[in-house]
Structure 1
Amino acid sequence: METKEVRMIPPKFQIPKPYQRVGIYCRVSTVTQEQLHSMSNQVSFYVQMLNNRNDWRLVDAYLDFKSGKDIDHRLEFMRMIKDAKNKKLDIILTKSISRFGRDALDTIQTLRELKENDVTVIFDQEQINTSKEDSELIASIIAGIAEAENKNRRDNQNWAINKRLKDGTSKIYSRPCYGYKKSASGELTIYDEQAKIVQNIFEMYLSGMSILGIVAELEKQGIKSPTGKDKWCKRTIDTMLSNEKYIGNALVFKTYTTYTPKPKRVQNNDHSHEQIQLNDAHMPIISKKMFDAVQEEKSRRSNIITDENGTRRKDTRYKSKQ
């Protein structure tokens, strides 16, 4: 019988790391005094924890003041992930899964990426250490619960907002725009100096002047834009000419938020989502007759038409006076 050779392969000797490199991740949703205090407490807690361990060294603290729903817009979070992939971190300390991220899928995918780069995440509140075998299952369950709770909380907030909108008590109706200011009681009142400029803009447009022509005229007269700049934006004039607040009404839900796959603000131009309008909410600057005339003129000048063949451009565009 032939004897087979057996060769022993000794383990490769590795010099143990003298310490592990640690990053702290903290996030709060707003910059209120209470939230800033919470952020300070979180950082202080983890720094103290690191001071009590000889095998850990602090590399950096990553602090986000942003909602946790969308990872891409949390700049410090993204910087931390980049550092982890560049082998600058061994451990990430954070308060909880909900602070790390509210989207369950994003959270699990990020944890997998970090694990592939030999980075451990320790969630203090849930007592989860991702270096352990069952950590991903536990983290996915908790992240799913956190996401569901967040959706439920958002739904409740939206219900309360809609209720106040429908009974006419919402403060959203009294948000000022150019031509208005808030009174001491919180109501919209006419800002005379700006209101005259609004009236002139409507009159110039009805006289045949183009939006670019209006922009040039305002800048020629040295009139500052709503943001206090010397230059006016074409879109600003276009929006003003369609703003129903100038006839005393207040319309909400001109935009809405979609959450798939990421949160995004979308214009509600096709009225696919419910809108609520409060009529006679405040004193008008423009008469309804003039406002309607401007809307008709805007439609006439538009080079977009909709018919049985769909939406398309006109063969020729309206040319206005300058």
Structure 2
Amino acid sequence: MAQAATAKKVVVVPIKTMDIVEGIQSIQKKKVAAYCRVSTDSEEQKESYTNQVNHYTQHIQNNLEWEMADIYADEGISGTNTKNRTHFNRMIQDARNGKLDLILVKSISRFARNTLDLLKYVRELKSLGVAVFFERENINTLDTTGEVLLTILSSLAQDESRNISENSRWGILRGFQNGKVFCNTNRFLGYDKDEQGELVINEPEAEIVRRIYEEYLGGKSYQAIARGLMRDHIKTVTGGDTWWDSSITLILTNEKYYGALLQQKTVTVDFLTHKRIRNQGQEQQYLIEDNHEPIVSKELFEAVQKEKARRAKLKGSVMGESKRYSSKYALSSKVYCGCCGAIFKRRTWNSNNPSKKVVWQCKTYVNEGKVACDAKSVDEQVLHSAFVRLFNRMYENK
């Protein structure tokens, strides 16, 4: 006999409540944060920055279904890349650590003007279950149409950034052409800026600069100058105790010390990353003569540049042969021609018979003949004897 069918029991599972922003489902309060940013330090932008922070603080606190997680704010930082945006990066890390459910942003351009960065972070946040809501565009990234709209609108924002960058560059170039000065005095020994922004000599530091120029022309190397400054306990421009060869080189090649100012020494090659490289002729440069009071004369500056070129040429001659002659003999790469400055090479005359003789000869003479350099050869024994005499004399006078 067939058993009677049992009545099915239906249990209704209540739907989960939703927050104001569609796509963010929740039973408990959401951890909500806001990201604010302005791109310049102008008074108007600072006020905008403060207003953004106040707006989101009140907005989050007034919503009973939200709890304040944090307000992340970067002030006076460009939006074209996220590398130097400290609080933005902290916000992303907090999202990875499960501290956020929703991020409120005024507009796409506040979050990023770089399409790749924008989509990269939005997708990562989406995978973490964290929504980003852009108020101006009314886009919620957890919504199905959110990413399509983001891609279109962020591309427009990136084009806007490019236009801003190009307009800014045009304005700077016009300033160069009209003699407007753009001069960074950070880490710049010898000068300060007065209230009008003009360069004025810092006399105690200027004395250090003059000393470096005079010692270099007096024959000292970068290393010797640096050692002397450290021996005399002279501080660097940043207040450090260690002087490097590179610091001496920069001082000896800086045109500002003779009162001139070379504009556009570097150029921006990527408006998104703001990467700058040395301007080696890619863009026009502008030299402003008599821009400010000099620390050294132009004649002294030019004499130093000639001396640098002379030493570089001499070093080039030596380095060109150093791999071949530097380690085989005691005097290799240590004897230079008094006529042309080239290195002396060790040679053996009559090597196949008992009357062979070892001499040192100028490389230029060996390779190009007497027309190029008429320096005489020097017997190796004579060189050794001269070295011993010089060494003994230095030891006695120590």
Give the TM-score taking structure 1 as reference length: 0.82
Cα distance in 2 between the residues matched to 1:87 and 1:174: 43
- Give the number of aligned pairs: 304
SS at match of 1:171: coil
Q: Does 1:226 align with 2:237?
A: yes
Aligned residues of 1:130 and 1:136 also touching (Cα < 8 A): yes
Aligned twin of 2:65: 55
CA shift digits 1:202-252 (9 cap, x unpaired) = 111122212222122223333332233344343222101001112222101
Q: What letter matches 1:41 in structure 2? A: N
- Of the three residues 276, 281, 284, the one matched with 1:265 is 276
Q: Does 1:152 align with 2:152?
A: no
SS at match of 1:246: helix
CA shift digits 1:98-122 (9 cap, x unpaired) = 1101112211222122112221110
Cα distance in 1 between the residues matched to 2:140 and 2:314: 58
- Residues 215 and 161 from structure 1, CA distance in 2 versus in 1: closer, same or farther, beyond 3 angstroms? same
Cα distance in 2 between the residues matched to 1:97 and 1:304: 58
Q: What letter matches 2:158 in structure 1? A: E
CA shift digits 1:140-169 (9 cap, x unpaired) = 22212222122212222221211121121x
Aligned twin of 2:51: 41
SS at match of 2:27: coil
Q: What letter matches 2:87 in structure 1? A: E
Cα distance in 2 between the residues matched to 1:304 and 1:110: 55
- Residues 304 and 45 from structure 1, CA distance in 2 versus in 1: closer, same or farther, beyond 3 angstroms? farther
Q: What letter matches 2:234 in structure 1? A: I
- Of the three residues 273, 276, 290, the one matched with 1:280 is 290
SS at match of 2:31: strand
- Aligned-residue CA RMSD in angstroms? 3.3
SS at match of 1:154: helix
- Residues 125 and 87 from structure 1, CA distance in 2 versus in 1: closer, same or farther, beyond 3 angstroms? same
Aligned twin of 2:138: 127
Moved more, 296-305 or 57-66: 296-305
- Of the three residues 283, 290, 304, the one matched with 2:300 is 290
Cα distance in 2 between the residues matched to 1:57 and 1:120: 15
Aligned residues of 1:173 and 1:251 also touching (Cα < 8 A): no
Cα distance in 1 between the residues matched to 2:39 and 2:271: 21
Aligned twin of 2:205: 194
SS at match of 1:158: helix
Residues 23-172 of structure 1 correspond to what in structure 2 (within 5 A)?
23-65=33-75, 66-168=77-179, 170-172=180-182
How big is the shift at 1:292?
2.4
Aligned residues of 2:57 and 2:71 also touching (Cα < 8 A): no
Cα distance in 2 between the residues matched to 1:140 and 1:111: 11
Cα distance in 2 between the residues matched to 1:64 and 1:81: 13
- Residues 117 and 306 from structure 1, CA distance in 2 versus in 1: closer, same or farther, beyond 3 angstroms? farther
Aligned twin of 1:310: none
Cα distance in 2 between the residues matched to 1:89 and 1:53: 16
How big is the shift at 1:279?
2.1
Using CA pairs under 8 Å that are at least 6 residues apart, name the structure with larger relative contact order, 1 or 2. Answer: 1
Aligned twin of 1:17: 27
Q: Percent identity?
A: 39
- Residues 38 and 273 from structure 1, CA distance in 2 versus in 1: closer, same or farther, beyond 3 angstroms? same
Cα distance in 2 between the residues matched to 1:26 and 1:205: 52
SS at match of 2:214: helix
Cα distance in 2 between the residues matched to 1:206 and 1:30: 45
Q: What letter matches 1:92 in structure 2? A: I
Greater gyration radius: 2
How big is the shift at 1:303?
8.6
- Residues 146 and 208 from structure 1, CA distance in 2 versus in 1: closer, same or farther, beyond 3 angstroms? same
Give the TM-score taking structure 2 as reference length: 0.67
Moved more, 292-301 or 203-212: 292-301
Aligned residues of 1:97 and 1:143 also touching (Cα < 8 A): yes
